[in-house]
Amino acid sequence: MRRMRNTIYVTSEAAWLRKDGANLVVEVEGAERGRVPLHLIEGVVTFGRAGASPTLLAACAEGGICVSLLDPNGRFLARVEGARSGNVLLRRAQHRVADDPARAVPIVRGIVAAKAANQRAVLRRALRDHGERIGAAGVAALEAAERRLTDAARRTLAAETVDGLRGIEGEAASAYVAAFPHLVRVEDQAFAFDGRSRRPPLDRINALLSFLYAMLGHDCRSALETHGLDPQVGFLHADRPGRAGLALDLMEELRPVLADRLALSLVNRRQLTAADFTVEEAGGVRLMEEARKRVLVAWQERKREELRHPFLDEMMPLGLVGHAQAQMLARHLRGDLDGYPAFVWR
């Protein structure tokens, strides 16, 4: 089993990262704020205008440590990484499958069915644990969305084209997003949610979701590269310059479990309040720096929670599920597995 290493999140915009011996050191205004051995780090994520020394960046590149630069909202800006890992033959196999609809469809079918099933599981957990607090109208809305998601998952079995599966995925996403407001149980209009908005997020729920999706995207890309796959060439997501299509594919299975449920927990348990967000003049909403730190702590704790992987039948932290999926996808593309077993949360 792969060892789960740490991702270092730097939220102070005045931070400076440097190398001292075999350690990464974080300084803010000349004062040391943290020190971590490089061999314990899998990735570094910075927000805003944090800087880093060339010596540290070189050491991270040589050690396979990815450094991702995000804006204060968590939107991806740039990435510093070393030489690509993995067997070129695996990447060529991946590209051939992506260009062959007959071979891509079974992979996409699994991804879309798993995403719909995991979204349905989020709704079912809410109905089971909080049905009385949600109210009759909310329960009816969640049950209707649950039926639509069940139908979407079933219809993937008969879909024969990638475009057809994309259509089913869109229908499932529409049902899930329409039901999502009923999962937010705080009686505060500041947390009203009326559908997804991005670049910039236009409400607090969207700001939180976008921030968590950025963290998940970083982890999924790192998992794919660790196992020798090309994160740019996906199966569900069409090729687009600057878009990591395969990382987005992998995220689809994991969003409801890792990001959506964490966002709901933080809001419903009042671990975040309206004051933890700032509304910019242009209308965009983003997390304040201190709130980002709390969310990142909760994110790391969520990744340490353990579950039994439904296909591998072994216990692992949630944070390693992405690595397990990337490894199984690589094995499928090499011909070691007959199919790609997408992750279904139970």
**pLDDT tens digits, residue range 92-136?**
999 999 999 999 999 999 999 999 999 999 999 988 888 777 878
pLDDT the model gives residue 96: 95
In terms of Cα–Cα distance, which of 142, 166, 157, 150 is closest to 118? 150
The reply to whether 6-80 and 88-334 are identical in fold is: no
Q: Is the pLDDT of residue 3 over 60?
A: no
290 falls in which pLDDT band (50, 70, 90)? confident
The percentage of the chain sitting over the pLDDT mark of 90, rounded to a whole number, equals 38
The arithmetic mean of pLDDT across residues 275-285, rounded, is 84
In terms of Cα–Cα distance, which of 206, 213, 252 is closest to 74? 213
The percentage of the chain sitting over the pLDDT mark of 70, rounded to a whole number, equals 96
Q: What is d(CA 268, CA 273) in angstroms, rounded to the nearest whole number?
A: 10
The arithmetic mean of pLDDT across residues 281-307, rounded, is 87
1 falls in which pLDDT band (50, 70, 90)? very low
Q: Domain 6-80 maps to which CATH number in 3.100.10.20, 1.20.58.220, 3.40.1160.10, 3.30.750.210?
A: 3.100.10.20
pLDDT the model gives residue 4: 54
Domain ranges of the chain: 6-80, 88-334
Let me know if domain 88-334 sits in CATH 3.40.50.300.
Answer: no
**pLDDT tens digits, residue range 39-61?**
888 778 887 777 888 998 898 88
**pLDDT tens digits, residue range 149-174?**
999 999 999 899 999 999 999 999 99
Burial class of residue 28 (count of CB atoms within 10 Å of its CB; 0-12, 13-18, 19+): middle
Query: SS3 of 306, please?
Result: strand
The arithmetic mean of pLDDT across residues 276-283, rounded, is 83
Q: What is d(CA 298, CA 266) in angstroms, rounded to the nearest whole number?
A: 8
Mean pLDDT score of the chain: 87
86 falls in which pLDDT band (50, 70, 90)? low
Q: What is d(CA 64, CA 44) in angstroms, rounded to the nearest whole number?
A: 11
Q: Is the pLDDT of residue 138 over 90?
A: no
Phi, psi at 7, each rounded to 5°: -110, 130
The arithmetic mean of pLDDT across residues 228-253, rounded, is 91
Q: Is the pLDDT of residue 260 over 80?
A: yes
**pLDDT tens digits, residue range 62-79?**
888 878 887 776 667 777
**pLDDT tens digits, residue range 180-208?**
988 988 888 888 888 787 778 888 899 99
